[in-house]
Amino acid sequence: MTGAANVRWVLPFLKRLPTVIKVGGKWDEETRQNRDHGAWSVWSYTGPGGNTVTTNATLGTPQNATFGSWANLGPQFISPNPFELGTTNALTVFNLGGVQGMPPRPSRNAIADLFRAHPEQFVNTTTPENYYTSFIANERDIQQTMTAWYGQSDTRLTSKLQIRFGARVENTKNDVTSFDPLTRVQVLARGYTVNSPNTNNGRAITIPGLRYQYMSQPRVTRHSKASGYFPSLLVKYQVLPNLEWQAGANQSIARPPIDNLAGLWVVNESNLTVTAPNPNLAPEQHTSFQSRLAYYFGGRSPGQLSVAVNRNEATNFVRSMNYSASEFGVDDPDFAAYTFISTTNSTELQRYKSMDLNYSQTLGFLSSDYLRGTSLGLTYSRSYANQRRPGLAPHRATGRLGYSYKRFSGSLGVVWVADKPSETTYGRFFGAITKYDLTVNFRLTRWATLYAQGRNISNVKDLWYESPPGVQEGKQAYLRQMEAYGANWVFGVQGRY
């Protein structure tokens, strides 16, 4: 649920300094109950030509004893599309006779039709661990309430100089509900069989045992609050009629991921540790400084040429942290000797800087009527950081050539991205890549347009690399992972009414 109110007032008593005041507020309440029961949806076909099942004496759940084949049910259960890996040639298969080929695949549509028509011929063979994953480990319950107020002033100091300043005040309240699990000793005392302390953290091995361990006690709701004050300033100066300079600064936040706030306590009685989310995490704090100089083209050739620089300083990033029970706010005597492994906010400063060059223009100054519908766009970005950051590419460039004449329009785009770290592990990076996109439109009538869109039309593969330990990242790299999605084409008719 959300609600907002905004007021705009043009000050009548500052005619020499035209000023517009804006004030407003917002209330937002979001409730999330994340569920993922996919691990529980495992079924075994036990009808004619299918599997046979028995009951696992230890777990108390059905398990497959013998296996049938979907081919026994008829050719309609074999997919007309055999298993294959496209043009990558990553897998070559030979049968026992030495003949090369690909194994057949069952038809998922036929199996689904059979499941709907005869559910009695299927047995659920999920295990207690599947139950734990679906109904315990993946549960997330959080209610987040945010209230905010802002004030902003736009004032024109001269015919060329304009200033905008303001501030935002925000309060966030989190109510996180999670299981209150029993210890391994308490579950054993009730008569349920459990794993050894070093296996699955010693939890119960049957579904009734898991229900008793995690669901017999009322759930616990933990509360946290955070508030902040975020000022902003923007200055615009009209150097020339077509040349504008901007500079500004602002503060903002980024809230922590839900999985860091809500989730399951995982108790390890062998090591006397509890791995738990931290509902008291504060948002990341960001301070940004920007400046931009832009020249605007007018007349028959509209467009712009600009350069922008940006600097962002951030703190309160999430990092791992060990707590005692009292430091984590736990007063349950059963956990007094445990170490709580969770997260906290880092005070380390991370600094990010970037420069962006941009040019875009319709080439209406060309003499030929056939060429005046040509447009061109180019961008280049250079990025820096004071430490290695996954996903941050030091160089990125894009280009787009467009053309329009009467009923026809189209564009060809290209993007190039340099090597960039792919994850936190040093030495692993995503390889440089160049991809092309194509868009073509032809207007049939005022209401209908034919179109074709192509992404990655040159079928470029995504490649992940890794440099050996002790070697500079990017040097002596070997291929670690490859993904080939192929070109993606969409053809259609667009209607406008």
What b/e string do you get for 76-91 counting C-beta neighbours within 10 Å, with b at 16 or more? ebbbeeeeeeeeeeee
Q: Are strands 395-405 and 408-417 parallel, antiparallel or unpaired?
A: antiparallel
* Cα–Cα nearest to 135, from 127, 125, 145, 143: 127
Q: Is the pTM of this model over 0.75?
A: no
Q: How many residues does the chain have?
A: 497
pLDDT, position 274 = 86
Which residues lie across from 421 on neighbouring strands? 429
CB 116 within 8 Å of CB 108? no
**pLDDT value, residue 389:** 87
Q: Sort 342 into a burial class: Cβ within 10 Å, 0-12 / 13-18 / 19+.
A: buried
- Give the distance, in angstroms, between the CA of residue 410 and the centroid of all CA atoms in the same chain: 31
Query: Do 411 and 439 form a contact (C-beta atoms < 8 A)?
Result: yes
What residues pair up with 223 in beta bridges, in sequence order? 175
Q: pLDDT 10s per residue in the chain (497 long)?
A: 899 999 999 998 888 899 999 999 999 998 888 888 888 899 999 999 999 999 998 888 999 999 998 988 889 998 887 776 666 666 778 888 888 877 788 999 999 999 999 999 999 999 999 999 999 988 888 898 999 999 999 999 999 999 999 999 999 898 989 888 888 889 999 999 998 887 888 889 999 999 999 999 999 898 888 888 899 999 999 999 999 999 999 999 888 877 788 777 888 877 888 888 888 888 888 999 999 999 999 888 999 999 999 999 988 888 888 888 888 888 878 788 889 898 888 888 889 999 999 999 999 998 888 999 999 999 999 999 998 888 999 999 999 999 999 999 999 999 999 999 998 889 999 999 999 999 999 999 989 999 999 999 999 999 999 999 999 999 999 999 998 888 999 999 998 87
Cβ-Cβ contacts under 8 Å for 178 (sequence gap 6 or more): 139, 141, 219, 220, 222, 262, 263, 264, 265, 277
> Which helix or strand (DSSP H or E) is residue 213 part of?
helix 207-215
Beta bridge partners of 397: 380, 416
